Structure 1
Amino acid sequence: MNHRSAAFTVAYALMRVAADHADHWGQRDFDAQCKGATDEAPVEYKHEDGTTVTVGTDGGRRACARHVVNYTATQGLVLVAGTRALGIRLHPAAVAAALAVSGLTHYAADRRVPDGLLQRLAKATGKERFYKLSDFGMNGPYCLDQSWHHSWETLAAAVASIKARTA
């Protein structure tokens, strides 16, 4: 296996595990609940202390941006630490580009405004019924969201492995 193949494999595994953690365990409840809020479709969020806040477009954008910054930072930390520990040196510009791909595409999907990107893609590709599925233990929007993220993380891992070398 050449250096780039190994770097790609490692980068993908590290980015995927970091993303899974950041998207689920690491995401703040407020951000998860409010990141798709708009003025036309506001979100009522009840804090643990019992206070309630109404979140509109600006708050939804901030919640999504905060989630994506944490998500991307988690991926970056895990990617850099993991590859260093394994003796793989990634080019800093390639890492930055990979994290930009992952973060920007994550924001685009997670903003989830009514008739958002994933819903429009599902409709355009004949997957609208699957997108609306929420039965039999399935949730179509979540499955398509995760598939979107995995696909872009694959590209991001390929970008990260450009000019990789062993220590």
Structure 2
Amino acid sequence: MRTLSRSLMAAAAVPVALAAAAAVLKAGRCQLYADRHRIHLTPVARRSCHDCRGAGGWWADGPFPEMEACGCWSERRELHIRLCPSRPGSTNRCSEAASAPATPAGAEAAHGDGRSIGKEPAAPVPLHPQFEIRRPTSMPHRLTTERLALFATLLATFGELHPACDHWVQGSKTASRKRMYGEDLVHADGTPAEPGSTRPAITTSTLGRRAVACHVASYTAVQLAATIGITRAFGYRVTPAALLAGAAINASTHAAIDRGALLLWLAKKTGKTGYIEHCQTVHMDDDGTLTREVNGPGTAWMELDAALHRAIGVGAAAVTTWLTTRPGTR
């Protein structure tokens, strides 16, 4: 009875062990291959992957289309266990060790007539399993390289064009009027509106908003033209939706920051008001009158303004890169 019970338990343990091994492999997203020479665990694609959706990759565009491997499985480690390696044309050493007679190492063997032929070499000992964890040695897959290259290109384009648009493209009158606030009536050229004047008049705040809109329009046009020209020159095409999203981020934040109120609020919240008050410039008029300037060239205001625009450009470049390279748009 005991023998029968043990046999039944052993027979029941086999499917249980197989089911447990299958559950572990499924949870670890691995595929098992085993024979008498090796045990090999290879990673497989995840169905929950947001890039390949379990397909393992996608077809890359270009003059030579090819299947691009997804990082959800290509960048994971493999487990390789060598058991009894064999060479072509030779008998496996493990089977030789099992079939060879047990001759003690160093013992003398003899012919049938009793003559000694010297010391018999020790029988080969079966090799212990050798565990080897294979790490991915290939270069990052194409999608990662493409994203990094596009992000660096956009970041350099957005960041380096900002000073050129502020100092070369922007007009002097636009720069002096874009931070104007008030309800006083002025003409379109900025001169005060006299009572009874027949010329159209607007408020000072409206004049400031028009000036900043003009500056942002020229800034956005230059940025879009440069981005399209640079990427097309290197044989790459950024999708229109991604271009418009990045331009919208830069344009809207640029207008809000250049109006001045948002920058002053941020400076107050971060404790930079003293920095703005300390680092100012003095402007001399034609008649020799000295006027203190808080937001002109050389002031802390201008440094904080440029730093804020560059920081936002990082986010705009990241959003543009993601919208261009996401698998759904390829």
**Same fold per TM (> 0.5)?**
yes
Show the counterpart of 2:301: 141
Equivalenced residues, count: 157
Show the counterpart of 1:103: 251
Determine if contact 1:36/1:111 at 8 Å carries over to the other structure: yes
Structure 1 residues 65 and 92, CA gap change in structure 2 (3 angstroms)? same
Q: Give 1:134 shift.
A: 2.3
Of Structure 1 and Structure 2, the greater strand share is in 2
Unaligned runs of 5+ in 1: none
Show the counterpart of 1:53: 191
Of Structure 1 and Structure 2, the greater helix share is in 1
Q: Give 1:27 shift.
A: 0.2
| DSSP-derived class of the 2:303 partner | helix
Q: Give 1:138 shift.
A: 4.6
- Of structures 1 and 2, the one scoring higher in RCO (CA 8 A, sep 6+) is 1
Determine if contact 1:95/1:159 at 8 Å carries over to the other structure: no
Q: Give 1:81 shift.
A: 0.6
Show the counterpart of 1:8: 151
Determine if contact 1:98/1:156 at 8 Å carries over to the other structure: yes
Deviations 1:95-127 (A, max 9, x none): 100000000000000012xxx111111111111
Q: Give 1:42 shift.
A: 8.8
Is 1:124 paired with 2:278? no
Deviations 1:39-76 (A, max 9, x none): 25899x9x8xxxx6247111110000000010111111
Show the counterpart of 2:321: 161
Question: Pairwise CA RMSD of aligned residues?
Answer: 2.5
Query: 1: distance between equivalents of 2:184 and 2:150?
Result: 43
Q: Which moved more, 1:81-90 or 1:66-75?
A: 81-90
Query: 2: distance between equivalents of 1:22 and 1:138?
Result: 17
Q: Give 1:24 shift.
A: 1.0
Show the counterpart of 1:19: 162
Deviations 1:9-60 (A, max 9, x none): 00111122222211111001111000011125899x9x8xxxx624711111
Structure 1 residues 72 and 40, CA gap change in structure 2 (3 angstroms)? same
Structure 1 residues 37 and 146, CA gap change in structure 2 (3 angstroms)? same
Structure 1 residues 149 and 42, CA gap change in structure 2 (3 angstroms)? farther
Query: 1: distance between equivalents of 2:277 and 2:240?
Result: 40
Structure with higher Rg: it is: 2
Query: 1: distance between equivalents of 2:205 and 2:234?
Result: 43
| DSSP-derived class of the 2:211 partner | helix
- Identity, in percent, stands at 35
Query: 2: distance between equivalents of 1:164 and 1:42?
Result: 50
Show the counterpart of 1:151: 311
Query: 2: distance between equivalents of 1:79 and 1:144?
Result: 25
Give 2:263's aligned amino acid.
L
Show the counterpart of 1:90: 238
What TM-score do the two structures reach when normalised by structure 2? 0.44
Q: Where has structure 1 moved over 6 Å in runs of 4 or more?
A: none
Query: 2: distance between equivalents of 1:18 and 1:160?
Result: 17
